[in-house]
Structure 1
Amino acid sequence: MMMMMMKVSELVLVLSCVLCVSADVFHEDLAIGGCSDTDGEEMYSLDGEEKWYADFINKRGVEPLPSFIDHISYQEGTYEQAEADQQICRQNLKVDQQMYKNTPLQFDPPSSPMIYTRDKVELGVKNTLICHVSGFYPAPVNVSWTKNEQKVTEGTSINVPFPLKDGSFTQISRLDFIPQLGDVYTCTVRHPALNQPLTRIWGETQHLSVSRCAVFCGVGLTVGLLGVAAGTFFLIKGNECS
């Protein structure tokens, strides 16, 4: 399947295939190669998990799967081949720009992003905030983070756009952080199809809900203990009178 995606003077080509490994089991093996006037992408995945992608900024290949998961290591020269593919892609891009210069542009905005933590929240313990953005076209989206209304860049990362079966894309941005009481974080998503950015908040409301629960539970426990003590007192007094 080949889809052509245009954004002003940009065009991205996406190639996908399904690999059948037995009569009973199917696996989706996906390869993406794309370019624009200023950027490029090459990525390989299996069953929705990224196996390898080219980091054209730091000029290296990246295997994003955790070290404890068995995964295929790509042979030496894979990144260099990706750079060569980019040259071919840009040559094709110039031709396609001429052919489709009057084609109406299509834009689909992302659905409401989701923000959540990777692990259960413990104050003072390192964790990761995840901002999940999906359903947009064309790729990519721009995701930015703030902490207490101050922009944050350290500890942030974002994966390459991942195509969905309906032709739209999904991306996940991450922020490494240490939860502290009162801290408020935001994830803001920008895309050409949006009239204004989408922002989701994590922090104060979660801490308040924990604090309020602790207060109410503490009050309930105190009242309960007072009730038990009062009942015991009157029971003893009643026995003495009899």
Structure 2
Amino acid sequence: MAGKVRRDTEEEKKTASWMEHVIRHLKNIRMLDPVPSAIRDYVRISDTELRQNCDNLSAVLNEMCKNTAKKERLLKVVRELPENSVEDIEFIETQIGDVIFALREKCFDSEELVDARRLSDGTLRCIAVLTAVLIGEPGSMVMIEELDNGIHPVRVYKLAEQLADIGRERNIDIIITTHNAALLNAYKKDELIGVSVVYRDKERSTSKIKSFVEIDNFPAMLAAGGLGDAMIDESLLSALKQSKKAKDY
């Protein structure tokens, strides 16, 4: 589209430049909603562009794990999942060029290679979102729908922490959505600056987004238990309907 804009004047050149800037950033946004049932199968080994539902995760992982540092970072988080001890990630290839990934798990004194068909939904989703962040281009954005879906409650906040760390290291913006009260309660005070609340405006029947720290009485909600508790007892919803009179610095 920007290529069709006239560039005869300085103003037109500037407009075209800004359009190209916006288009470039839009192309760098990756929407992610992993579907475990779609991941549990062999995939063409050359199919390495991660799709929204992550059905080609095995091929993407096979390519990514050629980078030792990225492979080890992935394993570091996966090893903290509340399941069997994970020793390594491996790949099973067929003669016709298909591949499926597997985790080498250790249970007591024995080892077993468990392929994607037998891994839990939570494990598959966890590996998928980590992979998306590890392969993302610096300056890009990854949007993850319902991060905690199917992931053990004890580990989901640890996963969010690791994603934040990787995002900072690789200069990648990560946006996650959740309805998990336990996850929201786990956020520390200094982390709430990045939390926004999406709610429905009854008058216009449209969705609105508001930064949590811009809500008038957010300190009282934190003192009463946390953001998750405020969501459950609807004090958050009540506060959203009030306009903020002055910024609280």
TM-score (norm 1): 0.23
TM-score (norm 2): 0.23
The structure with more radius of gyration: 1
User: Which structure shows the higher strand fraction?
Assistant: 1
